[in-house]
Structure 1
Amino acid sequence: MFDEADLPDDVLERATMLEGILVDAATGGSSDAAAYEFLRRDFIQRDDLKALLPTFVRSYRNLSAFWGWIKFAASTYAERRKIISEAFTPLMDHLEGRKNAPGDAEMSDALETFDAEGVHVVWNKALSRRTSDPEGAITIARTLLETVCKRILDERAVPYNDTEDLPKLYATTAKALNLAPSQHSEEPIKAILGGAMNLVNGIGTLRNRLSDAHGRGGKLPVRPSPRHASLAVNIAGAVATFLVETHRT
C-alpha cells in the first residue's frame, strides 16, 4: 500500500523515483500507480518544474493511460527506456545543476528592468522555489539584495569593494539613500530603518549557515525548510523594493 511518508524529501530523488516507476510500467516490471499519481501531482503543482516534465507525464494522469501510449510508441523495452530517459533529461539536468548558479537568470531579470516591477519578478520566482528548493530560494534572496545594492551604488557613483559582504553593501547603500538610522533623529523612523538593517544582516547569517552557497561543517548540517525560505525571500523582496523605489524617487 502506498504511503506518502515513504517518499524521499529531496526533489531530485522524487524525480528519479518518478522516472523509475514509468520505466517499470513500460518494461513489464511492477509499478506503483498510487505513487505515480502522487508524484505527478506534486511536480505539476511546482511552477518552476512543471514545464520541464516530460509531455507524457503532463498528459497521462495514471499509469494505465501511460501504458496505452508507450506500448505503441515503441515495441522494445530498450526503446521505451530510451524514450523515457531522454524525456526526463531536461528536468534532471535542471535539478542536478540548479545549485551551480541558482540566481543568475533571476538577477538578469532584475537588471533588465531595474525598478520595483523588475524586483517583483525576481521575488515571485524565488517564492516559487521556496518549497521545491529552499536553499536556492535563500541564495536568490541574498543575491537579489546584493544586486540591487551594487546597482544603486554604481548609478550613484559610490565606490565599494566587490568582496564586501551583504551587511556592508547594505550599510553603504542605506547611507547613500539617506536611509541609515544615524541620519535620522525621529525615533520611529530610526527604529524602522534599524530594523531593516537587522533583517538584512539576518538574511546574510541565514544564507551563510543554511543555504547552498557555502559548505556546511559539523556532523549534523541544518537544512532550511520552506518556511525559512519564505521568510528570507519575503524580507529580501520587501527591502529590495524599498531600496529601488527610494533610489528612483
Structure 2
Amino acid sequence: MREELAQIKSFNEFQLVEYFQDGVVARATGSDFDNELYTAVRNRLLGNKALEKLIPDWVKTKRTIDQFWTFIKGRFSTYQERREFLWDEFAPILNYLETKSTSPLEESIVFDEAHIHTQWQKALERKQIEPEGAITSARTLIESTLKHILDVQAIQFNDGADLPELYKEVSKSLNLAPELHQEQIFKQILGGASGVVSGLGALRNKLGDAHGKSKYSVKPSERHSELAVNLAGAMAIFLLKTFNETKGSK
C-alpha cells in the first residue's frame, strides 16, 4: 500500500485521472479499489483548480469508495452500463489532458525504449477488461513518440494535429516518407507504416474511450485492442530507434 501511495504521488495529471478511472471501473465491475487509494487520488484531483470544471460531479460528493459503490450500484445494474457511464464521465478530462500538452508524460521522464515498453505493457494489461481504453492508450503512445521526436529536433507542429499530420512531419525528418525512396519494396513497407499510424488514429476515434458513444456504437473486442496496442508499440520502437540512429549519424 505504501509503495502504491508513493507511486501515485509521482503521477502527472493524465496518469492520475487514468488511475482513478481504472480504479472506480474495477470497483464498479466486481473488483477492488482500496478506500485509502480512492481518497488519496480524489483529494489530489479536487485540489487541482485547473481541472475543477472537468471532474465528474459525483467525484465531488462521493467521499469514500463505499459511497461510490452505493451510487454506481443503484444507478446501473450491469457491468457494461457502469463501464460505459464511467468512461463517458472521464472522457472530457482525459481528452483535455491528452491534448493540452506535448505528451501525457512529464518532461522529467526519460523517453527511451524502456519507457515505451513500459507504456506498451500497461496498455496491454487493459485489453481484456477495457479494450476501448487500451485502444486510446495505443494512440497516445504513438502520438507521444511522434511529438517527442519533433520536439527534440525543434520542428514546430500544431499541438492539435492528428496522427497522420504528425507522422508526415516525422517521416520527412527521418527519411521515412515513401516518396523519398526509389526501391518499390521500401516504398511499399514505408507506405504500410504510414497506413498503420493513420489506422490507429481512426480506430481510436471510432472505438476508443476518449469520446462519448451512443448505445449503437461498435464495441471492440480484446483481439482488436491487442492488435492496436502491439502495432502502436512496434511502431513507437521503430520510430524512436530510427530517430536515435539518425541523430547519431549526424
Q: TM-score range by the shorter chain?
A: 0.5 to 0.7
Q: CA deviation at 1:139?
A: 0.8
Q: Does 1:220 align with 2:220?
A: no
Q: Which amino acid aligns with 2:228?
A: A
Distance across 1 between alignment mates of 2:208 and 2:143: 16
Matched residues in 2 for 1:111 and 1:223: separation? 36
Pick from 132, 137, 140 the counterpart of residue 137 of structure 2: 140
- What corresponds to 1:236 in structure 2? 232
For 2:207 and 2:200, the matched residues in 1 are separated by 10
CA distance in 1, matches of 2:29, 2:145: 39
Mapped contact 1:114–1:244 kept (Cα < 8 A):
no
Report the Cα offset of residue 213 of structure 1.
Answer: 1.7
1:1-249 equivalences in 2 (<5 Å): 15-16=27-28, 18=30, 43=31, 52=33, 85=66, 96=86, 99=91, 100-101=93-94, 107-108=104-105, 112-216=109-213, 220-249=216-245
Q: CA deviation at 1:214?
A: 2.3
TM-score (norm 2): 0.60
User: Which structure is richer in relative contact order (CA contacts within 8 A, separation 6 or more)?
Assistant: 2
TM-score (norm 1): 0.60
- In the alignment, structure 2 segments of 5+ residues that lack a partner are 1-22, 37-63, 74-82, 246-250
Q: Which has the larger radius of gyration?
A: 1
C-alpha spacing 1:111/1:199, structure 2 compared with 1 (3 Å): farther
Deviation at 1:17, TM superposition (A): 6.3
Contact 1:129 1:136 in 2 (8 A): yes
Shift of residue 13, structure 1, vs aligned partner:
7.6
Contact 2:34 2:65 in 1 (8 A): no
Residue pair 1:54, 1:87 contacting (<8 A) in 2 also: no
Which amino acid counterpart does residue 131 of structure 2 have in structure 1? Answer: P
Runs of 4+ aligned structure 1 residues displaced above 3 Å come to 11-18, 52-55, 86-89, 95-100
Structure 2 CA distance for aligned equivalents of residues 216 and 187 of structure 1 = 41
* 1:195 match: secondary structure: helix
Say whether the 8 Å CA contact 1:134–1:224 is kept in structure 2. Answer: yes
- Report the secondary structure of 2:94's partner residue: coil
Deviations 1:165-208 (A, max 9, x none): 11110111111111111111112211111101111111111111
Rounded Cα–Cα distance in structure 1 between residues aligned with 2:29 and 2:213 = 27
Count residues in correspondence: 176
Extract unaligned runs of 5+ from structure 1: 1-10, 19-42, 44-49, 56-82
**1:124-169 superposed Cα distances (whole Å, 9 cap, x missing partner):** 0000011111111111111111111111111112121112111110
Compared CA separation, residues 244 and 109, structure 1 to 2 (3 A): farther
